[in-house]
């Protein structure tokens, strides 16, 4: 083989390598972009998932400090104390009466005896209601210190939960993309990757009370009907 032919072959190989290098990169990027776009279309967003998880926990409202306000307003309600009493008094008297009188001549006269019976019954009811207000509690309630500590703990737990949901969401997304870009011939890696996807799906389902998988199924059905 002549020197010119060898140079020509070397140049051709170099040109082919450069073409394949710069040509496959845009194709690979487009393939990855299509995979990501399809995943986004068929799944709820991270914001929607976080909102649902907070609703399941009862932390959807950012203002977690409602207890202090309720503790103060509770002092508008009085402390009521009621009493009731009944008096049942009954007096029974039996009397005998006989009158004896005399005339001017000294003669005595006896009247017939009289039997008198008296039954005196008295009933009385007594009711009392006492109301007491502690209006100083409208300014400060003694339980506010304990409430503030509890609110701080709940806010920290809420922030930690949001971070945990975000990490699980994007870890799952990474394994989904890895699975889609793994050649079918590498079936062992695809199985391992799919197991990781399922593991994070189950984790997000546990946080959202099953809402995450339900939404995925609904979005896939909707997009299938629209021909996407």
pLDDT in tens, the chain (228 residues): 455 554 555 555 554 554 454 444 444 445 556 766 777 778 899 999 999 999 998 887 766 566 667 666 676 677 778 777 766 666 666 666 666 667 677 666 666 555 565 666 666 777 788 888 776 766 667 777 777 777 788 888 889 999 999 999 999 999 998 988 888 899 999 999 999 999 999 999 999 999 999 999 988 888 777 665
Degrees to nearest 5, angle at CA 181 with 28 and 189: 150
Is the pTM above the cut of 0.85? Answer: no
CA distance 35 to 180: 7
- Distance (Å, rounded) from C-alpha 72 to C-alpha 65? 12
E strands, 98-196, are 100-102, 108-110, 114-132
Q: Are 127 and 74 in contact (CB under 8 A)?
A: no
Strand, coil or helix: what is 202? Answer: helix
Rounded Cα gap, residues 155 and 65, in angstroms? 10
Q: What pLDDT is attached to residue 27? A: 42
How wide is the angle at C-alpha 100 spanned by C-alphas 97 and 105, nearest 5°? 170
Looking at residue 167, its pLDDT comes to: 95
Give the three-class secondary structure for 151: helix
Find residue 127's DSSP bridge partners.
84
Q: How high is the pLDDT of residue 154?
A: 82
Query: Domain segments of the chain: what residues?
Result: 42-68+142-225, 79-132
pLDDT at 66: 67
pLDDT at 99: 64
Structure tokens at 136: 């100083």
């Amino acid at each position: 083989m002549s020197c010119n032919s060898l140079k020509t072959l070397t140049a051709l190989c170099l040109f082919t390598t450069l073409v394949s290098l710069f040509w496959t990169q845009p194709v690979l990027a487009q393939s990855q972009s299509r995979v990501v776009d399809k995943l986004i279309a068929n799944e709820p967003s991270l914001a929607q998932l976080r909102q649902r998880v907070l609703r399941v926990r009862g932390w959807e409202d950012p203002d977690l400090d409602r207890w202090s306000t309720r503790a103060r307003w509770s002092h508008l309600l009085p402390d009521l104390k009621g009493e009731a009493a009944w008096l049942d008094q009954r007096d029974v008297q039996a009397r005998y009466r006989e009158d004896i009188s005399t005339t001017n001549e000294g003669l005595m006269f006896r009247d017939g005896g009289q039997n008198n019976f008296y039954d005196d019954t008295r009933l009385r009811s007594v009711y009392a209601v006492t109301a007491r207000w502690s209006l100083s509690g409208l300014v400060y309630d003694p339980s506010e210190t304990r409430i503030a500590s509890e609110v701080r703990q709940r806010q920290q737990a809420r922030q930690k939960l949001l971070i945990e949901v975000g990490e699980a969401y994007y870890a799952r997304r990474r394994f989904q993309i890895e699975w889609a870009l793994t050649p079918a011939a590498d079936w062992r890696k695809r199985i391992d990757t799919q197991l990781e996807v399922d593991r994070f799906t189950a984790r997000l389902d546990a946080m959202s009370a099953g809402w995450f998988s339900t939404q995925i199924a609904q979005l896939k059905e909707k997009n299938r009907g629209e021909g996407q």
